[in-house]
Amino acid sequence: MVWLSRCCFRKYGNFVDHLRVYVKGGAGGMGLPRLGGQGGDGGNVWVVASKDFSLRKIKDRHLDKRFVAGVGNNSTVRALKGQKGADVEIPAPPGITVTDDNGKVLGALNVLGDKVRVARGGRGGSFHSDFLPSKGQTRHVRLDLKLIADMGLVGFPNAGKSTLLSAISHAKPEIASYPFTTIKPEIGKVMYDDHRQVSVADLPGLIEGAHMNKGLGHKFLKHVERTKQLLFVVDVCGFQLASHSPFRSAFQAVQLLTKELELYKEEVLSKPAILVVNKMDLPEAGEKLDELMHQLDNKEDFCHLLPEDMVPRHFLTFRHTVPISASCGQGIATLQQLVRQSLEEQEAEATETQRQDKLRTLRRATTSPLPAPAATRPANPKWGLSYDA
């Protein structure tokens, strides 16, 4: 039994998923040469995963986007060891990847409490530095949010992802009959009667060429990386983005979506996936579904329907294929149960993999031969003693 959560959907008004900030570690304090006193170290700047925080809040609260840590205290006669400068923490939501301006990854915030040091404080003056302090680290860093969700809805515009999200949760995304209704990620949660919650992210619609950053391109695709599983959503009757664009059948849509993800980052396709065939309330939907299932069972025979450069290297195998009508509610209960089942299977597989890894490590430790004894020299006939080489 599933009931809909009325309060667990958060709408991201004026959504911000990346931010560049200036960070500066505090300078160290002066040492005291005549007494050998050591100055305090400068404070550090950290990014910390915090509850109920967003990049929008950081941007609104810190208009200059500057974070400077405290300076270390000088060494004095009364305090030969100067006090360390105060650290500064930048609260951020889980799902943040921190990089410098050169693209080097400094760290990631995956769960609440994770922290990454982004600017190191300078050393206090001491005997080793002629009692002169050093300056703190100064640079710009980028905070890039990749949404963390159990399921990510993947589909071309007007496939019905927003309608599906509102049907399986109590989310209220904007829904219309034109493409690109969703221009920012929306998250809803399905709550089951045993209080298990599953988060589902409705991500902006892809277009062909998204891997080259066309349309919303990488702004969308990066969020796919942090979802546990994928929900492919296709219109059973196919779609046409615009009058000058080619018509794509449901089979073509599935394979083109697969190829876009493959070209962006192939490891994304290692995630478990469920295929949702939407709009089953339309005329001829049953015949179209039968055609799609036949094509999916014989993918290689229908590759000619795709542009030559858009045939996936490896066809995706879906754990489940679920026909639904999001607008009418048909198949929604079945989909909710299969989503939970698929997630629980994934968790069980991960637990079993960890158990097998630990077992293999234990077996290697218990079956490895004992280290050979060190070579010894013959006993000294004069003293009757032996010693290691």
Q: Are 176 and 261 contained in the same domain?
A: yes
Half-sphere exposure of 170 (CA within 13 A, CB side): 12
Q: Are 62 and 177 contained in the same domain?
A: no
CA distance 223 to 147: 5
CA distance 66 to 151: 35
In a domain, 378, yes or no: no
The model carries a pTM of: 0.67
DSSP designation for 286? H
In a domain, 387, yes or no: no
DSSP E strand boundaries for the chain:
2-4, 18-24, 45-49, 66-68, 88-92, 96-100, 105-109, 115-119, 138-145, 149-154, 186-192, 197-202, 227-235, 273-278, 320-323
In a domain, 38, yes or no: yes
How many domains is the chain partitioned into structurally? 2
DSSP designation for 230? E
In a domain, 384, yes or no: no
Coil vs helix vs strand at 375: coil
Q: What is the pLDDT of residues 306-357, one digit of tens each?
A: 988 889 998 999 999 999 999 899 999 999 999 999 999 999 988 888 888 8
Q: Are 256 and 338 contained in the same domain?
A: yes
Please give the structure tokens belonging to residue 358: 């630990």
Q: Are 173 and 132 contained in the same domain?
A: no
Q: Are 242 and 127 contained in the same domain?
A: no
Distance separating the N- and C-terminal Cα atoms of the chain: 74
pLDDT of 16 reads 76
Q: At what angle do helices 332-367 and 161-168 cross, to 10 degrees?
A: 80
Q: Are 232 and 195 contained in the same domain?
A: yes
Q: What is the pLDDT of residues 190-241, one digit of tens each?
A: 888 888 889 888 876 565 444 344 444 345 677 778 789 999 999 999 988 7
Q: Are 139 and 185 contained in the same domain?
A: no
Q: 160, 235 in Cβ contact below 8 A? A: yes
Q: Are 134 and 165 contained in the same domain?
A: no
Which single residue is written with the structure tokens 């046409």?
A: 240
Q: Is the pLDDT of residue 39 over 70?
A: yes
Domain containing residue 262: CATH number: 3.40.50.300
What order do you get walking across the sheet with 197-202 strand by strand?
A: 2-4, 186-192, 197-202, 149-154, 227-235, 273-278, 320-323
Which single residue is written with the structure tokens 């920012």?
A: 184
Residue 197 forms beta bridges with which residues?
A: 191
Picking from 81, 111, 145, the residue at the C-terminal end of a domain is 145
CA distance 161 to 238: 14
What order do you get walking across the sheet with 115-119 strand by strand?
A: 88-92, 45-49, 115-119
In a domain, 369, yes or no: no
Picking from 120, 145, 170, the residue at the C-terminal end of a domain is 145
Domain containing residue 53: CATH number: 2.70.210.12
111, exposed or middle or buried, with CB in 10 Å at 0-12, 13-18, 19+? exposed
| Mean pLDDT for the stretch of residues 364-378 | 62
Half-sphere exposure of 129 (CA within 13 A, CB side): 19
Coil vs helix vs strand at 253: helix
| Residue 211 lies in domain | 149-345
| Mean pLDDT for the stretch of residues 65-84 | 96
Q: Are 180 and 313 contained in the same domain?
A: yes
156, exposed or middle or buried, with CB in 10 Å at 0-12, 13-18, 19+? buried
In a domain, 359, yes or no: no
pLDDT of 381 reads 46
Q: 250, 240 in Cβ contact below 8 A? A: no
Q: 50, 91 in Cβ contact below 8 A? A: yes
In a domain, 48, yes or no: yes
Nearest to 23 by CA among 109, 88, 97, 103: 88
31/177: higher pLDDT: 31
Torsion sign, CA atoms 296, 298, 302, 303: positive
Q: What is the pLDDT of residues 253-276, one digit of tens each?
A: 999 999 988 888 888 889 999 999
Picking from 325, 345, 365, the residue at the C-terminal end of a domain is 345
In a domain, 50, yes or no: yes
Q: Are 316 and 190 contained in the same domain?
A: yes
Q: Are 128 and 200 contained in the same domain?
A: no
Rg of the chain (C-alpha set): 29
CA distance 273 to 342: 9
Q: Are 294 and 323 contained in the same domain?
A: yes
- Average pLDDT of the chain is 83
Coil vs helix vs strand at 299: helix
Q: Is the pLDDT of residue 292 over 90?
A: yes
